[in-house]
Amino acid sequence: MRHPLHPALVHFPVACWSLAVVADFASLHFGATAWSWSAGLLAVGCGMAVIAMLAGLVEFARVPEGAAMRDAFWHMGLMLGALTLFAVRLLLRLDHLQPLPPDTLSLLLDVGGFLALAAGGWFGGKLVYGHGVGRA
């Protein structure tokens, strides 16, 4: 594949999940006006993350052995962790498909998911810019 699809797709879950975290924490001040956006953003982010992960698995065969492969495994593990934390966050705060306001556990899942997202993104950047994976 000359133009990898994975890097083009990852922007969607990163943006949706980041905005969902902002919305949840903003709800501490603004109330329902802010958190009402969170569930939709989390759902779209999780859906797009699955698509991005499938594209990443297709491109995984092009990762060279050694340090790049180790960083690829870190990237995959952290991003899978972020997906898991954000999906659990979404499912715990739905009642008959209606979103509920965030509680302490929701905010902790948001923080954990965001930290995993940031660290996984760093390893993804290291793959491209440090190891040259996916560049011609």
Summarised one tens digit per residue, pLDDT across range 69-114 is 999 999 999 999 999 999 999 999 888 888 889 999 999 999 999 9
- pLDDT greater than 60 at residue 1: no
Split into its structural domains, the chain has a count of 1
User: What domain range includes position 81?
Assistant: 6-130
What was the pLDDT predicted at 132?
A: 87
- pLDDT greater than 80 at residue 3: no
Confirm if 87 and 80 have CB atoms less than 8 A apart: no
Q: Is residue 1 part of a domain?
A: no
Q: Is residue 70 part of a domain?
A: yes
- pLDDT band per the 50, 70, 90 thresholds, residue 61: confident
Residue 19 to residue 95: CA distance in whole angstroms = 22
Other Cβ atoms within 10 Å of 14 Cβ, number: 21
- pLDDT band per the 50, 70, 90 thresholds, residue 27: very high
Element (H, E) at 80: helix 67-92
- pLDDT band per the 50, 70, 90 thresholds, residue 2: low
Task: Enumerate the β-bridge partners of residue 95.
Answer: 98
Q: Which residue has the higher pLDDT, 133 or 41?
A: 41
Q: Is residue 115 part of a domain?
A: yes
Q: Is residue 136 part of a domain?
A: no
Q: Is residue 55 part of a domain?
A: yes
Confirm if 68 and 56 have CB atoms less than 8 A apart: no
Q: What is the pTM of this model?
A: 0.92
Q: Is residue 135 part of a domain?
A: no
Averaged pLDDT for residues 127-131: 92
Q: Does residue 91 sit in helix, strand or coil?
A: helix
Residue 53 to residue 16: CA distance in whole angstroms = 15
What was the pLDDT predicted at 96?
A: 86
Averaged pLDDT for residues 24-40: 91
Closest CA to 120 of 84, 74, 87: 74
